[in-house]
Every structure is written in C-alpha cells, then in structure tokens.
Structure 1
Amino acid sequence: MACYISLVFLLGFPAVYSGSHSLHYYISMLSAPAHEVPQYSIVVYADGLPIGRYNSDLHRAQFLIPSLNVLTEHLELQTKFAQRWQVYQERKMAFLMGFLNRTSDRGTIHIYQRKFSCELEEDGTIGGYQEFALDGREVITFDRENEVFVPATQEAVTMLPRWNQYLGNAKGNKMYMENECIEHIKLYLPLIMMDLEKKVKPKVKVSISESDSGVELHCRVYGFYPRDVEVKWIKNGRDEIHSEEAAQILPNPDGTYQIRVSVGVTPEGGATYSCHIDHSSLEKALVVPFEGETKGYVIYIVIGVVVAALLALCLGLFIQRKMNGFKGSRQSVSTDEQD
C-alpha cells in the first residue's frame, strides 16, 4: 500500500472529528470493454457523500467536491495509486474467474467488485470491512482482527489458502485500513463539512402494478440527501405492511440518493394505503397516500383478461372459418383437375 502524508495540520485546518465517520471505496472491473461503461472504476464516499472518482476512461483521479481541489499533491498521489492498483485488481479478478470457472466467451461480461471501508468512531476506536464479489455474489471477506481473508461461500473455502498466500496481503490491508485510510478521513472532513451538513428533501412517486403473485404498490423516493432514510407502507393509517424484498438505497449521478419500496397487497374494499418517509431534511414524516382503489384496479385487470380471452376466441373462430373455406376451395379445384 502507498503511504500518504496528512495535510490537515500543514494547511491549518481545525480537527473536526465529532461523531462517527467513514470512508468507503467502491471498486468495479469488467472482464471486457462495454459500451459507455468504464472497464475499471473507483468511487470514494465520505460519510455517504461521493467525494472522488477514478476510472479507466479518465486516467486521473478527480475530486467531486470543489473544496477538496486545494489538495493538489494528494490528488496526484491518488492518481498514481489508482493506476497501480488496477493491475492488482486485474490479477484478483483473473484468479476468481479461473477458480470459479468463469469465462468471457460468447460475449459474456463478468463483473468484479471490491468494497473497502475504514471507520473512525467518536471515542477514537477504528473499524472497517472489506469484501470481494464476482457477478454480484460475495465471495471473500476480510477478518481485520485476525489479519486473514475468509470465505463467504462454500466454494470459496478451497481457494482461500492460495488467495491468502499470493493475493491477500492481509497485513498490508489492515495497516492501510487503520492508518492511511483514517488519515484520509481526517484530511477530508474539515473541507467537506458544509457539504456533509446539506440536506435535500426527497421527492416521492407512488404507483401500482400487477405481478405474478397479485397486486403490488410501489413507493419511489428519490433526489434526497443525506443517504439515511426510512420508507414504509401503512394500511388504514396504522398497520405497517412489510416488504418481502429488502430495498436498496442507490446513488444518483448528482450525489443524491433513491430507493423504491414495493409491497404486495390483498385488495379490500375501503382500505387505504399510504407511503411514509422519514428523512433528516423533513421536519416531520412525509405521508403520501395512494389515491387509487386497489379493488377497482383488480376489477379492471379481470375485465382486461376477459376481453383478451374473448378477442382470442373470436380470432380463433375467424381463422377456423377461413381454413374451412380454404379446404372447400382446394377440394373443388382437385375435383376439376381429376375431371
């Protein structure tokens, strides 16, 4: 791992470490080039705020927060580190693909992902995590306390000895997590405090759709900042409806976030449904009612199915009549030819 010099005190910034803070690195790599998607990319988040990036199209590290641009020397070091790190990630991806029997023939593109995080708690304790995934499936995680990588799946058990011996560098990862990464948190925080404190209210859109299992209500919440948000569906103003699928908070290109929470409902006459959103930008929870009638929606679905069935039946009868007429004409022609 490369060593970096903390510039906090050299630049005269005060130390601002109250509360817990984190720095996340999200690395992704494609097994082959794809249209309009960088083959290799790194995105850096401080306390959930995207602050920097590097990818194989840019070939340079960039700060996404203008106030960080004073760190010119640090940015140059980050560029060199990201370029050198790409080689290491290529080796790791090749190892995982080979061991897990993944190939890139017939145009198949595989995705390698690595998540790395360090955390500085309010009492000064240090934490963090690291994980590796291939095609969206977690394969390996990092045990910081024991300085070793551990398997996340059964098929990864047999490959871990070779990984730890040749590719893991567990000791170096722990040193970086507990030293340089923490110094970066201290370096960035004084310069991004105003950005971290900004709040953007969420926008909300509710909708309804039919699924294989019945009727689903959707609550899409988007354009909000900071990241933490609570979204839930409430029936008749008091009963929470739990979603069967865990909703993910996803980043937007502008630095805000989005989430969609969907629940299955059983149509009932007179029942009301509303989406409740709790976010730090709101003085009180935002309640967005679903204005439609789920029972009526199901009736429309049933009517649509019946109409489609009738149309199919009529079309079938029409084709059958045409075929019967065609057969009659063929028989008449055949008789004439025999004569």
Structure 2
Amino acid sequence: MLLSPQLSPGVQLQETIQYRLWILISSKGDKSPILRRMIRVRFLLLCAWAVAGEYAGSHQLHYSFTGISDPVPGLPVFSIVQYLDDQMTTIYSSDTGETRPGVSWMDKGDLKNWEDTLYQHKNWWTMAFKHNIKTAMSRFNQTGGFHVVQLMYGCELRHDNSTRLYYRYGYDGRDFITLDTDRWVFEPGVYEAQISTQRWNTAEDGAGQRWKHILEISCVELLKKYLDYERREPERRVAPEVKILAQESGGITVLHCWVYGFYPREVDVKWMKNGQDVVNLVESTPILRNNDGTYQFRVSMKVNPEDDGAYSCHIDHSSLAEERIVPWDHNRKRIWFIPIVVLLPFLALVTFNVRKIHVSAMAH
C-alpha cells in the first residue's frame, strides 16, 4: 500500500537534489553508462519541476521531499529542504541525519525552535518515502533501476494579497498525483495513481480538506512570518563583478555581459551602442542564486562582426554609487563562451507546528 502523509495544520518540506545530481551525471566515477543516463533523465525531469513565482513582487514558501530507490554515492537517500523565494532556509539530509538552518534569522525569536518538529518526524518521513518508492515500483511492474519519489507543495503570496497554492506528488520526475486547489480534489497524473486518489478523495479519509487548511492557512501564515524576520535583517550590499565575453557563431558575434557576485538580488543590466539602448537581445537569463548567497545574471546580444559601433554594458545596482559602464573591446580575441550555471541544492525544509500526522493507507 502507498503511504501518504496527510498533515494537520503544518508540516515539513524539501527541494530537489539538482546540485548533487548534476555532480553525479557530470563526473566519471564508477557508475555504469546506463545508470548515468537514468540519473540524467530523472535530473532533467526534476529540474522542470522547479516552481517559480508567477507575478512580480510575489513571495513564495516552497517545500519539497525527495527519496531515491537505491543508495548512490553523493546523494542522500532522503532529503528535505525549505525555500523562501530562492533562498534556502532549512535543510535535512539522511546522509548526515542532521537538520540545519540556511539563514541566520532562523534561530531568532519564536523561530528558534524550528528544528523540534522536524527532528520528531524525519525518521517517519524517511520510512514513508522508502515504502512509497517500493509501492510505486510495484504499480509500474518495476523490479529494479534508479527511481525518485518527490512531494512538493507550497504557497505564493502576491502583492495584492491574493495567493497561489499547489501540491504535486511525483514519480521519476513526472506528476503522479496533483491536488486541484479549487475543488480540493486529488487527481491522478497516470493510471497507476488512481488507487491512491480514489482513497484520498473519500469523505472518510478527508485528505483534501486537511491540505486545504495546510496550504490556505498554515503555509501562508508561516510565509508572512518568515518575510517579517527577513526584513529585520541588516541590509547587506555586495557590488557586482562584470565580465564581457564574445562568442563567434555562424558569422555573427554574440556578446555576453556576465554580472556576478552581487547582493541584493535586484539589478538592472542593459547593452548600449553609441550611447543608445540596444533592444535586439539574444537572451536574458534568470537571475541565479550562488551558493554563497550572492547572485549572477547574464544579458546577451548579437553584433555584426563588421560593426565598429561603441558597445558597452551598463549595470545599475543598489551597491553602486553610480551606474557602472563596461565597454566592449573590439580588439579582444573572441572566445567560445561556456555559460556558468550555479545549480542550487533544492533540498529545503520548512517546519509548521504539527499537531497531528495522519497516514492514509492505500491498497494496491
């Protein structure tokens, strides 16, 4: 039977395991080519699960639990992570058996006992995910291989005080069960999940209404509390580093303005030609968070190799007394640019005050 945590006002969550998965699929190691390909597929599918805020000025509290079928060097069998927006706030790994905060303000005020609830239930979570992986493999008639079970849910608070709520239970990077947060009904993502959703949707089980309370009330209240603590922290400012890199591609020069190592997150980067804004951007990457808490950003544009215009990258950031201008040197040798992507260890855990954990057992 499949065990599904039906949490009463509050619980814990976590994020994917992208960073360690990336190290695994990128390194030679002793893994067979087949296992490397399997991990790569799971990794790519899990990456697509990352849930970002849909509206400017919104904030999100995101939880994710991840369990894997077999031990793999460098990967925890079970992990829990919590994120406030793109900031990892708490993390648990079965490798160490320890839970630690990811931000300094987590140990302040009425948040200082944040670890208590997690410590009480992390062994149960580890057992439940191990059981659920075996159940899912049985549902799909699988007897071996590398498999991933993941639970992700959270809440987003928009600037107009409206909310967006979500719950997704996945297997091998695909939706297994989702929760319709308008009707509070669980929906199967695949045929093999129907047994579980039928049980969860019964009046006797009442899982939908419990999750309604968790997401609508507990999650949103905790999100507001976290935002309040974050705002009390002394404002930190780190000036950005800037590099301009040029790449030759099909007779066209692509200029990349790479801005990195800055804090806080908000930054304005643009290209100008002869003092005028340039709008033909090739791409603008998302603002990515580095492991040290700073951020990086890249803005690219196409240039005709025969164009002798004066191109420059302009950076405006709160750490700078004035706009920084970095000109492009036409005489610099072109290079093949390899974008640097900092992958975040999506292993974050948030803790609500758990009053009760109810387990629904679903027959095969």
Q: TM-score range by the shorter chain?
A: 0.5 to 0.7
Matches within 5 A, 1:318-329: none
**How many angstroms does 1:176 deviate by?**
1.2
Partner SS state of residue 240, structure 1: coil
**How many angstroms does 1:206 deviate by?**
2.2
1:67/1:192 contact within 8 Å kept: yes
2:117 equivalent in structure 1: 77
Q: Distance in 2 between matches of 1:45 and 1:252?
A: 14
1:93/1:112 contact within 8 Å kept: yes
Aligned length: 277
**How many angstroms does 1:270 deviate by?**
0.4
Q: Distance in 2 between matches of 1:148 and 1:200?
A: 46
Q: Percent identity?
A: 35
1:205/1:221 contact within 8 Å kept: yes
The answer on 1:117 being equivalent to 2:133 is: no
1:234/1:241 contact within 8 Å kept: no
1:61 equivalent in structure 2: 99
Q: Distance in 2 between matches of 1:282 and 1:139?
A: 47
Matches within 5 A, 1:122-133: 124-131=161-168
Matches within 5 A, 1:138-217: 142-149=179-186, 156=189, 158-159=191-192, 161-162=194-195, 164-165=197-198, 169-195=207-233, 197-211=235-249, 215-217=253-255
2:282 equivalent in structure 1: 243
**How many angstroms does 1:23 deviate by?**
1.6
Instruction: State the AA in 1 paired with 2:163.
Output: I
1:315 equivalent in structure 2: none
Bigger Rg over Cα: 1
Instruction: State the AA in 2 paired with 1:250.
Output: L
- TM-score of the two chains, using structure 2 as the length reference: 0.59
Partner SS state of residue 230, structure 2: helix
| 1:182–1:2 Cα change, 3 Å | same
**How many angstroms does 1:240 deviate by?**
1.8
Matches within 5 A, 1:209-288: 209-211=247-249, 215-236=253-274, 237-243=276-282, 247-282=285-320, 286-288=324-326
Instruction: State the AA in 1 paired with 2:194.
Output: P
The one-character-per-residue Cα deviations of 1:72-131 (angstroms, maximum 9, x if unpaired) are 4332102334443344445565666677788864xxx55555543213446654333344
Partner SS state of residue 120, structure 2: helix
Q: Distance in 2 between matches of 1:278 and 1:101?
A: 56
**How many angstroms does 1:289 deviate by?**
2.9
1:45 equivalent in structure 2: 83
| 1:75–1:164 Cα change, 3 Å | same
**How many angstroms does 1:181 deviate by?**
1.5
Higher share in helix:
1
Structure 2: gaps spanning 5 or more residues: 1-6, 12-56, 202-206, 337-364
Q: Distance in 1 between matches of 2:303 and 2:181?
A: 44
1:224/1:257 contact within 8 Å kept: yes
Q: Distance in 1 between matches of 2:138 and 2:243?
A: 44
1:310 equivalent in structure 2: none
Instruction: State the AA in 2 paired with 1:74.
Output: W
1:323 equivalent in structure 2: none
| 1:116–1:277 Cα change, 3 Å | farther
Higher relative contact order (CA 8 A, sep 6+): 2
Partner SS state of residue 113, structure 2: helix
The one-character-per-residue Cα deviations of 1:39-91 (angstroms, maximum 9, x if unpaired) are 33333222443322111123232222333224343321023344433444455
The one-character-per-residue Cα deviations of 1:303-333 (angstroms, maximum 9, x if unpaired) are xxxxxxxxxxxxxxxxxxxxxxxxxxxxxxx
- TM-score of the two chains, using structure 1 as the length reference: 0.62
Partner SS state of residue 253, structure 1: coil
Q: Distance in 2 between matches of 1:213 and 1:205?
A: 22
| 1:249–1:28 Cα change, 3 Å | farther
Q: CA RMSD in A?
A: 4.2
